[in-house]
Amino acid sequence: MRASSPERWQQVLANSAYADALRSRDSSINAFLEIDTDRRHSHGDGTSPAAAGPLAALPLAVKDNIAVRGFGLTCGSRILANHISPYDATVVARLVAAGMVPVGKTNLDEFGMGSATEHSIAGPTNNPWDADRVAGGSSGGSAAAVAAGMVPLALGTDTGGSVRQPAAFCGIYGLKPTYGTLSRYGLVAYASSLEVAGLLSRDLAILRAAYEAASGADVMDQTSVSLPDAASRPSDEVRRVAFLGGELGLDQRTAAAYRRMRDVVAATGAAVEDIELVTAEAVVPAYYTIAAAEASANLARFNGVRYGERPVFAENPEALVRQARTEGFGDEVKLRILLGTYVLRSGFQEQYYQRAQRVRTAIRRELASVFARHDLLVLPVYPTAAFRHGEAELTAFQQKLADRFTTLANLAALPALSVPGGVCDGLPVGIQAIGPAFSEARLMRFAELAAAELPPQRPPGYEIELCDEVIPGGRT
């Protein structure tokens, strides 16, 4: 089936049936924590003269750890259950300036910590391909909303794969850009040196336009970076492509899709070479050490005093803070805070945190040497396709080990794009490409090459996107 045209999406907000159709479709998916399409949040209607470009009037879904003025900002956590954002994140403000209209906040693992969008006060999000399976995480709501045809574009965050893995599980594109190119102002911080805002879409043209509109330095974010001039950025040539080789521990679907992608790339005439990384075994340990350490510091701000949930009575200030945190945080968040506090304690810092930072240097150097010889590094996103709800197929610990392909790009601050790699036995499989810093155009060129053979597909039951469902004359 043909992709829905962006023009149809641009008309959908003018149609009063959209809001009900969105709610109706979400009832079996639970992608959204909050839906509001009536633009009462003073975000304009996307029709201002300044917003006449390709993003004008397009509905936008936003992960609920990114601030949108007037919408909730729960981060999927009890401690922020009633928090309303008083301001817009810079990425949201820039997309709104380009004409997009926020229509809802999407489900996530609490504070972005998880791989399944199951650790949330709103309950789990279901995968549109199979409701018994997870949508991935932590941006599972954003990925499911796009895959089920509810919105053309969604914002997520990617600290260790949280945009790319759910995009892979749901069969769409997921871009984790170069660190700092999308401002983090208005993202609720979890692991500041690793996390980025990211974009999810089924449409490459919309993805590209959104990245161009939202990227660039921001005075409100010390860690934002200026994009080099177009002429100084890496070219979009995809001629020498490294594939991660060796024993990768993939399930059958993923192994088949990965082989297929290798054939597709080789057929374009690119030189394909299998490589191995000597730092591979240390990637996830370094990632979780650093992420937990930064989380324990960032989440110290949630104490129930100035905002957020807190007990009605406490004996003293410390008891108030203890009780607010103890009741407000879920298990996975507590685990990472404890782990992070431990690896930062005097006496253990050198063994864990400082070692992890040096291992991070070794990983960066190794990837730099890969990109001295290759245009891109292609590798799986996750060792499995979408797994079943609960921990029957993958325990929480195994889910962390499975971050071994995605966390590389976060540790090295490099851009990575998860692209649809075909549907195997009823489930989509995603394959990712990592490039040197600022090579987003090259990653999108790779996606175009792959899409010629492996175009994104739609989940059964969601073949018709909402813009075509609600607009008279749309395909039925």
β-pairing, 59-63 with 153-158? parallel
331 binds another protein (CB under 8 A): yes
Q: Which stretch binds another protein (CB under 8 A): 13-21, 252-260, 356-364, 467-475?
A: 356-364
Beta bridge partners, 87, equal: none
**Cα–Cα dist 340/389, whole Å:** 27
Q: Closest separation between CB of residue 420 and another protein, Å?
A: 28
312 binds another protein (CB under 8 A): yes
**Cα–Cα dist 206/61, whole Å:** 14
Site of tokens 């006449």: 52
369 binds another protein (CB under 8 A): no
**Cα–Cα dist 196/181, whole Å:** 8
Which CB sits closer to another protein, 268 or 357? Answer: 357
Which CB sits closer to another protein, 268 or 341? Answer: 341
How many CA atoms are closer than 13 Å to the CA of 379, on its beta-carbon side?
Answer: 29
Site of tokens 């079943």: 388
Residue environment code for 174-209, b if the CB has 16+ CB neighbours within 10 A, otherwise e: bbbbbbbbbbbbbbbbbbebbbbbbbbbbbbebbbb
Residue 138 catalytic?
Answer: yes
462 binds another protein (CB under 8 A): no
Q: Which two tokens stand for residue 18?
A: 């959209």
The single residue of 85, 120, 138, 183 carrying the catalytic annotation is 138
CB 55 within 8 A of CB 98: yes
Q: Is 422 helix (H, G, I), strand (E, B) or coil?
A: strand
Q: Which stretch binds another protein (CB under 8 A): 94-102, 245-253, 308-316, 440-448?
A: 308-316
Of 320, 370, 424, 451, the residue at the interface with another protein (CB under 8 A) is 320
DSSP 102-154: EEEEE--SGGG--SSS-SSTT-PPEETTEEEEE--SSSHHHHHHHHTTS-SEE
Q: Which two tokens stand for residue 360?
A: 């991070």
Which CB sits closer to another protein, 261 or 321? Answer: 321
Q: Which stretch binds another protein (CB under 8 A): 316-324, 383-391, 442-450, 455-463?
A: 316-324
398 binds another protein (CB under 8 A): no
Which CB sits closer to another protein, 300 or 452? Answer: 300
Residue 215 catalytic?
Answer: no
89 binds another protein (CB under 8 A): no
Of 19, 256, 314, 370, the residue at the interface with another protein (CB under 8 A) is 314
CA quadruple 121, 122, 127, 132: dihedral positive or negative? positive
State the amino acid at position 272 in one-letter form: V
458 binds another protein (CB under 8 A): no
Residue 16 catalytic?
Answer: no
- In the window 203-262, what residues touch another protein (CB under 8 A)? 217, 219-226
State the amino acid at position 374 in one-letter form: H
352 binds another protein (CB under 8 A): yes
- In the window 19-78, what residues touch another protein (CB under 8 A)? 69
285 binds another protein (CB under 8 A): yes
**Cα–Cα dist 61/204, whole Å:** 17
Q: Which stretch binds another protein (CB under 8 A): 44-52, 98-106, 178-186, 452-460?
A: 178-186
335 binds another protein (CB under 8 A): yes
474 binds another protein (CB under 8 A): no
Q: Which two tokens stand for residue 133?
A: 């399976």
Site residue total, another protein (CB under 8 A): 82
- In the window 420-449, what residues touch another protein (CB under 8 A)? 437
Instruction: Indicate which residues carry an active-site annotation.
Output: 63, 138, 162
